[in-house]
Chains A and B, each alone.
Chain A
Amino acid sequence: NAGVTQTPKFRVLKTGQSMTLLCAQDMNHEYMYWYRQDPGMGLRLIHYSVGEGTTAKGEVPDGYNVSRLKKQNFLLGLESAAPSQTSVYFCASSYSGRRGRPNEQFFGPGTRLTVL
């Protein structure tokens, strides 16, 4: 099992460029998440999905879009990158626990994105 993988691992963009980050999991998990991590801020939730074809906004969704066309994949898009989006991005997946609540999250290795 590969677990949770993220593509790419590093990327440098210029302001205004677009890109898509790909997250894939092979654990048949229902729930998937995108976070960003900035110094001193912990992890902040951008968007998440509770199943194929569903998405929901997290704490910091502005400037990002997501899609989950297949259960195993969760894509994060930046339509017009800004320097404020320079961050480390983590994808995670989780299985359903008691009463459908998310159980342990499994994380990808992260993507370091720099926007110049």
Chain B
Amino acid sequence: AQTVTQSQPEMSVQEAETVTLSCTYDTSESDYYLFWYKQPPSRQMILVIRQEAYKQQNATENRFSVNFQKAAKSFSLKISDSQLGDAAMYFCVSPSGYALNFGKGTSLLVTP
């Protein structure tokens, strides 16, 4: 089965600091999308960032950026200038045919 591994169940960062969440995935596909989703206590799933695998350039969205290493099947998320509102569960998501595989998540705590 194709899987997504998030090796950090919990992470903590101070406000205004930078944190990186790790993710490795397994897929046999060559052209695909990767995602990071955020789930705050409200339970709503929110897209943070998307990476198209055929693009070599790493995706960025304001304070969020990724380090995409296609050959290594690694897809880490960097959050710069962390804010209290960034506290949430973060899920790395990779393809599986017409479906998507979710990692088990990393719980991010942001301290003042």
Contact = CB atoms under 8 A, between A and B. Distances in A.
A98 B45 contact: no
A98 B52 contact: yes
A107 interface: yes
Contact of B104 (A41, A59, A100): A41
A58 interface: yes
Majority secondary structure, A binding face: strand
Interface residues of A, number: 29
A44 B50 CA distance: 20
Interface residues of B, number: 24
B44 to A, nearest CB: 6
A48 B95 CA distance: 14
Given A43-B91, A99-B31, A101-B33, 14 more contacts: A31-B98, A35-B102, A40-B104, A42-B105, A45-B100, A45-B101, A48-B99, A97-B33, A98-B54, A101-B31, A101-B32, A104-B33, A107-B44, A110-B44
5 contacts: A35-B102, A90-B45, A92-B45, A104-B50, A109-B44
